Structure 1
Amino acid sequence: MNYELWLILIDITSFQKIKLINKYKTAENVYNNFEEILKENETISKKLKNFQKDDLYYEVLKLEETLYKKNIGYITYSNPLYKEKLSGILNPPYFLFYIGNIDIINNKSIGVVGARKCSNYGLTVTKLLTKELITNNITLISGGARGIDSIAHKTALENDGYNICVLGCGIDRTYPSENKMLFSKIAEKGVVISEFLLGTAPLRENFPKRNRIISGLSDGVIVIEASEKSGSLITARLAQQQEKKVIAVPGSILYAGASGSNKLIRDGASICTDIEDLRVLLSLEHIEIQPMNFTPEKSEILELITDSPIHIDDIFKNTSVDRGALYALLFEMQIKSEIICLPGNYYVKTI
């Protein structure tokens, strides 16, 4: 019996599981003392009415096999690495599933978050600030969502940096669907993590939970464009509660998509008006970043892809690049944050 997976699968809260671990030290001890726990803890006893500890035996075996086949690891509150990073957040999850190198959660890291529906200004700023972080050997943390999150992850990959991507669904689900290859690339050097059981859908209520993990793992958070209802503000406020650095990029007062991030500045977040501000706020060294060079094929594609979305079929009709090479170039250009892919195979320029 894998006792850690057994405790992961038991239908009680993370708070209750952590309380049991604090008392009994290991999941195996919880299992061995389970009858006593049911007698002593009325809340757990009511929740697990008619439950026997061996009822999960086959589910544990099935989960263990699935994790092995899909190369998914897990870490629990019993692990010192986990406890050091996440014990300080409100209601820490008992476990995290992960794909990739979990050790990088020890790295110095900064969260970069923002709107899903962001402006070209927001995308450009995200690329600029993320490059500066990666160039200074800082790990990028974000939530893998469309918009600011995806651009930050792709920019980190382009600059050979480390990525931590925190999902709001089961780690075996891909949301948004167009980021499947992106998540795979992140896991090659960095790590993709989730606090949800396998198969969990990307439900609306999952994302505020996800945001507390981003704030918990990061040493600070940068907010780039957020409306007043943006989940990014949750991440920022949680970071402030943990007395971590919160930096916001100012936007136009006429743009509703920046009203939340602007008010973060009003309410005490540090303002970032240029790269030098970021260097001072995070005590970064100045390292000159080399400008991008485009191949003739990329230049041809970038002439077709503008600020207005264009469908892939129209790109193919108007370029000399064959379809196979076109798909490869488009993906490479997404990784390098030169373009982004919108739903329905539409592309738009980000630089």
Structure 2
Amino acid sequence: MVENMRSELFFLKQFGFNDTLLQEIFLLGINPIEIIFNNGYQLYAEFENKFTSRDRDLAENYYNYKEFKSDLFKKDDFLKDSKSKIYFKYDVNEMTELMPEKIMPLFMYSKGDSTLLEANKKRVAIVGTRHPSPKAIAITRKLTRKFVEDQYIVVSGLAEGIDTISHETAIDYNGKTIAVLPTNFKNIYPKKNQELAQKILDEGLLITSIGPQESTYKSSFLVRNQYLANISDIVVVTETNLKSGTMNTIRNASEASKKILFVDQEDELINNKIYEFGGEMLSD
């Protein structure tokens, strides 16, 4: 195995090379620099279709990569922060213990108290609409407080609405909370939750699959829901629409065989859809 392979793959990914290519290089245990920048892939027929047009453009100038790597190492706040942690897909760590290999990206990242990911900790995801009703807000606060009292770590997605209420209530009652982000740590979304993200860092944890030099796409929000469901033992839904990000989280929780609890949506179609995913309605 090439020395410092993980570190090199991290920088190559931040430079823009795709996950599929980098995973293939790691699994074959070959030197990524020689393969990528010295046309070494021509020696391995299986690499030919792993290079996208973007990869080929990036591979044309090794000097640009060296400059990028040096600047990132010296200047990026994430790499200099003692609270930062990088999780590699093929290592045994807190993240890979929770995340199935088929959905784990090559790298994931955290800032804060990484012990909150330990297998012996209880985690509940409390999620819902970005535009909650007053009733849903009250129920979310009540349920979050109850789970905090029962020593659960509250997981949510830092979105507006139910997610924000879940995080804030956990903090208000001295609980621990994890925010799963669809962005990197420099570009908190929504911007109005930047202060909340900082509060979470004080005692909790931020995690993401988006590296310090990577961009967020529409698909990043759906992928975030997948990670959120998989690191949680229970997913609790207080209010949702039939077609929504929350329903996507419910689907992911079902596929991961997680316990799904939900508040009566007072809509037969929505309730039945959640039942289809194995949901259990909470009583008063």
Q: Which structure is larger by alpha-carbon Rg, 1 or 2?
A: 1
Q: Pairwise mapping of residues 1-351 of structure 1 onto structure 2 (< 5 A)?
A: 2-24=7-29, 30-31=32-33, 36-37=40-41, 39-40=43-44, 41-47=47-53, 48-49=55-56, 51=59, 55-64=64-73, 65-66=75-76, 67-69=78-80, 72-81=84-93, 82-88=95-101, 90-106=102-118, 107-198=121-212, 203-253=217-267, 260=270, 263-265=273-275, 268-274=278-284
Q: Deviations over 1:169-205 (max 9, x none)?
A: 2211121122111111111121111211336565433
C-alpha distance in 1 between matches for 2:16 and 2:115: 28
C-alpha distance in 1 between matches for 2:42 and 2:68: 21
- Do the aligned residues in 1 keep the contact of 2:20 with 2:50 (CA within 8 Å)? no
Query: Which residue identity is paired with 2:201?
Result: A
C-alpha distance in 2 between matches for 1:46 and 1:181: 38
Residue 327 of structure 1: aligned partner: none
Q: Deviations over 1:212-271 (max 9, x none)?
A: 1101211121111110121011111111111111111112239xxxx6356313553111
Change beyond 3 A, Cα 1:68–1:9: closer
C-alpha distance in 2 between matches for 1:203 and 1:45: 21
**SS in structure 2 of the partner of residue 80 of structure 1:** coil
Deviation at 1:10, TM superposition (A): 4.9
C-alpha distance in 2 between matches for 1:199 and 1:60: 11
Change beyond 3 A, Cα 1:54–1:138: farther
Residue 324 of structure 1: aligned partner: none
Change beyond 3 A, Cα 1:131–1:46: closer
- Do the aligned residues in 2 keep the contact of 1:226 with 1:261 (CA within 8 Å)? no
Change beyond 3 A, Cα 1:228–1:200: farther
Please give the root-mean-square deviation of Cα atoms over the aligned residues, in Å: 2.7
Query: Which residue identity is paired with 2:98?
Result: K
C-alpha distance in 2 between matches for 1:75 and 1:266: 34
Deviation at 1:156, TM superposition (A): 1.0
Query: Which residue identity is paired with 2:208?
Result: S
- Do the aligned residues in 1 keep the contact of 2:111 with 2:207 (CA within 8 Å)? yes
Change beyond 3 A, Cα 1:173–1:266: same
Gaps in structure 1 of 5+ consecutive residues: 275-351
Deviation at 1:92, TM superposition (A): 2.0
Residue 332 of structure 1: aligned partner: none
C-alpha distance in 2 between matches for 1:201 and 1:97: 14
- Do the aligned residues in 2 keep the contact of 1:249 with 1:262 (CA within 8 Å)? no
Query: Which residue identity is paired with 1:49?
Result: R
Please identify, of 202-211 and 130-139, the stretch whose mean Cα deviation from structure 2 is larger.
Answer: 202-211
Deviation at 1:149, TM superposition (A): 0.3
Q: Percent identity?
A: 23
TM-score (norm 1): 0.68
- Do the aligned residues in 2 keep the contact of 1:74 with 1:96 (CA within 8 Å)? yes
Change beyond 3 A, Cα 1:218–1:30: farther
Number of corresponding residues: 266
